[in-house]
Homo-oligomer: A and B are copies of this chain.
């Protein structure tokens, strides 16, 4: 009965909830651009004020100074901590979200003013509407609704809202680490709404993300770039060595040829395989969205597994060689190939780095070039995968089924959200991604939107999830 009351109340307040999102979208809290940095502070204050109206105790954790690439310094937005309920008999949920947005300019191809919320055909266009202001405000809407109806929230809730997510979450990990024994000590579950459904119709819960290992392959020979007319024909050209090496890392279909990599991948379990059977995913629509006629694999399950649970290797580019339009005839003296591997369980970055460097060195020996060669591991991030059979996930699934009338898909994603792993490591408890936006929300792109349906039903889903947490 509680859920039905809540759902009906949320529907009644639809217009007001959209107005609340409008206020947030009109604060252009772009973290990447110095000119907008004050707006991130303003967005943080706005959020705190809205939280305090609900009785959430807030504090802003100072995040220090950022050294900008241009040499200037800029104050970092604080991390906003919130705390609702201190009932020792209840368990505690941690909610994460971010208040900053990607840059946006109407001249980049937006059909509407990006920092206005414009409703067209049931879609709310505006920067941050889906990533991540909509989900953050949906939490506040859900709590407000339960309070208005005097329905008890069965858990204590803690909030971590940051203002630098779109700029690498600068400082967040350190601050969370410092508050591990205090603010994070009693957290039982973490819920993150900062990703998207796999499609446009069916909700999902996300239990895995790939990690990343990045590499540079540096080949150099002469002291300086050389005129190809004057020197061509006598020099072992580093660029020739580099394309040779890079061409030997994958086969035509992108299968990784690095010795030992594929052996590290966690075997597919029966349990996991079953999940893929049920997942709703339209391969043809995916091809159309990407703009290709042929994929490396054509079967639904294989497409999803290649995106989520198998490692992939991409060559991103070459530093040091001519890259402009037109023609230039120089022999580059030093070229650096850039590539990365998306890693999955059970690939540890250290193991992966060792295998990749060994393979590159083996190739280099086979090449027999007299040039200088270095295989350099850059940064890396571990993959994340959670137990989708955990009661936390089952509670999430029951909540979504209640709202949408359909069992959610259990999905993974190919990219990374590093804070997910941070929360899992610091709390030692279950972390779940509960997206409310649709796959075509165009986060990070022009014409970002959230559907009114997703925003309002998502608000219901978060409330339903809070109710379900009582039954774990």
| A interface residues, Cβ below 8 angstroms from B | 210, 212, 214, 221-224, 226-237, 239-240, 243-244, 246-247, 250, 252-254, 286, 290-297, 303, 306-307, 310, 312-319, 321-325, 327-333, 338, 340, 342, 367-370, 378-379, 413-416
Contacts and interface: CB of A to CB of B under 8 A. Distances in A.
A307 B239 contact: no
Q: Which 8 A/B pairs are nearest by Cβ-Cβ distance?
A: A229-B415, A317-B322, A223-B291, A317-B321, A233-B306, A233-B312, A232-B312, A323-B323
Contact of A415 (B230, B244, B295, B319): B230
A373 to B, nearest CB: 14
Contact of A240 (B250, B330, B367): B250
Contacts of A319: 322-325
A206 to B, nearest CB: 12
Contacts of A338: 322, 327-328
A423 to B, nearest CB: 19
A439 to B, nearest CB: 10
Of A222, A234, A333, most B-chain CB atoms within 10 Å: A234
A275 to B, nearest CB: 18
22 contacts: A214-B327, A221-B291, A224-B291, A228-B340, A231-B414, A233-B312, A234-B297, A235-B295, A236-B292, A237-B315, A239-B315, A239-B316, A240-B252, A243-B243, A316-B331, A317-B322, A317-B332, A319-B322, A319-B325, A321-B323, A327-B338, A329-B340
B294 A236 contact: yes
Number of chain copies forming the complex = 2
A328 B297 CA distance: 25
A292 B237 CA distance: 11
B290 A226 contact: yes
Nearest to A231: B290
B290 A233 contact: no
Contacts of A306: 233-234
Given A254-B233, A307-B233, A228 B291 contact: no
Contacts of A378: 327
B312 A316 contact: no
Contacts of A210: 229
A227 B303 contact: no
B416 A229 contact: yes
A295 B35 CA distance: 52
Nearest to A250: B240
A295 B234 contact: yes
B413 A229 contact: yes
Contact of A314 (B239, B290, B370, B415): B239
B244 A342 contact: no
A290 B214 contact: no
Contact of A247 (B243, B303, B415): B243
A254 B236 contact: yes
A316 B328 contact: yes
Contacts of A235: 254, 290, 292, 295-296
A420 B312 CA distance: 53
